Amino acid sequence: MSPNRSPFRLPYRLLALSAVSALAVVLPARADVPAPPLDPAISAALARVSAEQLRATDERLVAFGTRSTFSEKSRPGRGVFAARSYLAARFREIARSSGGRMTVALDSYLQTADPKKRIPRDVEISSVIATLKGDEPSTRTYVMSSHYDSRNSNNDDGEHDAPGADDNGSATSAVVEAARVLANLPLHATVVFACFDSEEQGLFGSAHYAKSLKDAHVDVEGDLNNDIVGASVGDDGVKRDDVVRIFSEALPPGTDPNRVNVIGGENDSPSRELARFAKETGDAYATGLHGVLIYRADRYLRGGDHESFNAQSFPAIRYVEPVENFNHQHQDVRVENGVQYGDLLQYVDFDYLAKVTRYNVASLATLALAPATPKVTMDTKALTNDTTLTWNSVTGAARYEILRRSTTDPTWTTVEVTVPDAKTANAPSPTQSVTLKYSKDNWLFGVRAVDAQGHRSPAGYPTPVR
């Protein structure tokens, strides 16, 4: 075995040695929170996810030679313009099975030269956006995203090959495939399938689109970003095709650190709750994968389009394969000292990519079918040894589950109590309140909304009010 260069490796060494210790590594010690009931319509969508379709899409993307932001003046059939036309055409074809609910558009703008931002000359940036409308009158929206641009060793090189099979042809194929299997599923919230341009130059496509959603006051309640999700074999040669990493930021921008320290809510940002939800839901469906939650925004020296959503205060998480091979990312295709460099199709495991796609679809469909996350407050007006939580009734909710965990637990451990929805129970007020005989000083609480079929929202973490 090669020496451990990353603290992440140790559990996987154990995983390879023993199936029993593997379970101990990835499952919480306590599991009082039952797995969600499986929706047959979601299971049917997962069953339609096809490794062959994913391979066909990724092969088409790689065949454009390069998808560099600066390859726009390339010959016909080559470069980023050809790739975006292909993606838009794929989504338009998929939209035909959506009963008129899916629309396809380019989110385009002219980025002017800024050498400090890896933009040596003016360039048109265009992201491909497919929007599947839900039946709610609200603007509640969930996004599944990838970037479709690629790069080689030179970030400005629009001429030479940059196949980008894994970074990020893998996730772009997953976004197209998720759109294909969900297009005819009736949903309550709106789902956006986004393939961003110019991630490699500095998240330009996603930053433009996330800001446009913010400016339009769209209620974006989550972005599931996928970037480098296709290789199951890491640079140590070990295959791990049953794991996906889930990164999430701690604190949204603008958070007052003094206040967070007093509240003790630094591990309960909306992005963290979305990550916990994604793991719980993805693990429950028969996806053949389990998620490993990583409580940081992204890997060292790397970033991704979820950060553009975080920058607009939208909850967002990033999926990424378990162990990366950096010889296959951001590299000219070449053999050096007997080592193959380059982001080539031969390193993508399409059965693994199909699992990651199913993992996404399980969460995305549940989010869009479940009620919205409740907005919860905690009464801190007086010194008491109990906890009073208050929230407004959420459209579509049949009941609310009050979740509890100790301040040192990473994930929710207990459904403390279930409260019927006030409107359902014919109560006079849509404002609901519950008092628990647990001290708010010693425990963490969350409230999630559940509909009559059992679809759960992510947990809402209470804001203290005096």
**Which residues are near Zn ion by CB under 5 A?**
167-168, 227
| Residue whose CB is less far from Zn ion, 149 or 249 | 149
Ordered alpha helix ranges (H), 269-426: 270-284, 306-311, 350-369
Amino acid identity of residue 273, one-letter, is E
Instruction: Tell me which residue of 81, 111, 273, 272 sits closest to 206, measured CA to CA.
Output: 111
Query: Which CB atom, from 91 or from 319, has the smaller least distance to Zn ion?
Result: 319
- Please give the structure tokens belonging to residue 271: 């992005």
Q: Which CB, 167 or 197, lies closer to Zn ion?
A: 167
Backbone angles phi, psi at 360, to 5 degrees: -65, -45
Least Å distance, CB 200 to Zn ion, is 7
CA distance 72 to 123: 8
- Compute the residue count for the chain: 466
CA distance 319 to 290: 12
Report the residue number, 151 or 456, with the smaller CB distance to Zn ion: 151
Q: How far is the CB of 169 from Zn ion (least distance, A)?
A: 10
Q: Within the chain, what is the greatest distance between any pair of CA atoms?
A: 75
| 168 vs 190, beta carbon nearer Zn ion | 168
Q: For residue 382, give every residue at least 6 positions away whose Cβ sits within 8 Å of its Cβ, in sequence order, or none.
A: none
* Minimum CB–partner distance for residue 331 and Zn ion (Å): 13
Nearer to Zn ion, 127 or 269 (CB): 127
Dist CA 369 CA 186 (whole Å): 8
> Ramachandran region of residue 122, left (φ > 0), alpha (ψ -120 to 50) or beta?
beta
Q: Give 61-99 as a DSSP string.
A: HHTTSB--TT-TTPPTT-SHHHHHHHHHHHHHHHHTTTT
How many of the other CB atoms lie within 10 Å of CB of 197?
31
Backbone angles phi and psi of 235, in degrees to 5: -75, -5
228 — phi, psi (to 5°)? 70, 75
At 416, which amino acid appears? E
Q: Determine contact, residues 352/230, Cβ cutoff 8 Å.
A: yes
C-beta of 172: minimal distance to Zn ion in Å? Answer: 10
- Nearest approach, Cβ of residue 328 and Zn ion (Å): 12
CB 394 within 8 A of CB 371: yes
Q: How far is the CB of 330 from Zn ion (least distance, A)?
A: 9
Smallest gap from residue 452 Cβ to Zn ion (A):
40
Q: How far is the CB of 333 from Zn ion (least distance, A)?
A: 17
Query: Considering beta carbons, is residue 230 or 265 the nearer one to Zn ion?
Result: 230
Q: How far is CA 367 from the centre of its chain?
A: 12
Q: Which is nearer to Zn ion, 177 or 227 (CB)?
A: 227
Distance of CA 307 to the CA centre of its chain: 11
Compute the least distance from the CB of residue 229 to Zn ion, in Å: 10
CB of 228 to Zn ion, least distance (A): 6
- Comparing CA positions, the residue from 169, 178, 194, 193 lying closest to residue 61 is 169
Q: Kindly state the smallest distance separating residue 156's Cβ from Zn ion, in Å.
A: 17
Nearer to Zn ion, 147 or 455 (CB): 147
Query: Which is closer to Zn ion, CB of 190 or CB of 206?
Result: 206
> For Zn ion, which is the closer residue by CB, 167 or 349?
167
Distance of alpha carbon 399 from alpha carbon 447, whole angstroms: 10
Say how far apart CA 416 and CA 402 lie, in whole Å: 6
